[in-house]
Amino acid sequence: MKNSVAVLGIRVCLLFPILFLFSCSSPNKKSAANQTGTKENIHKVDTVTINMMKFNPEILKVDKGDTVIWLNKGMVAHTVKSYRDNKFYSDTLAPGKTWTWVVTDSAAYYCTLHPATMMAKLLLNNK
């Protein structure tokens, strides 16, 4: 009798860790499903290069939520300012510096230091 009680006790001790392992495997599947659901929120990042007194590309197609990075590869300082509504106005960008804006709308913009020659546009897709 004592033997059979001891065997039963050992079986219960083995059973609990196995149940514990199975119960742990299900939350992992849930978190994998959550990761696929966030893909819709991914936006792209575009770079506008400033060089030879020009924005390149001069017309950039974007979506709301995209990030635009202006990179000054020129020899002198420049700025990035929208014409209307003050949607954005960068700091003065020394050579080698960048400035970033997250797109909220389409915008025509220019360089306040060279307004006669440096003009460009951000155009929303589907417009």
Give the interface with Cu ion as residue ranges (CB under 5 A).
78, 111, 113-114, 118
CB of 74 to Cu ion, least distance (A): 7
Burial of 97 (0-12, 13-18, 19+ CB in 10 A): middle
Q: Furthest-apart CA pair in the chain: how many Å? A: 101
53/124 with CB nearer Cu ion: 53
Tokens standing for 55? 């924005």
DSSP 3-state assignment of 117? coil
The DSSP symbol for 78 reads: B
User: What span, in angstroms and rounded, lies between the C-alpha atoms of 64 and 56?
Assistant: 20
CB of 93 to Cu ion, least distance (A): 8
112/124 with CB nearer Cu ion: 112
CB of 72 to Cu ion, least distance (A): 9
107/118 with CB nearer Cu ion: 118
CB of 42 to Cu ion, least distance (A): 32
Burial of 107 (0-12, 13-18, 19+ CB in 10 A): buried
48/118 with CB nearer Cu ion: 118
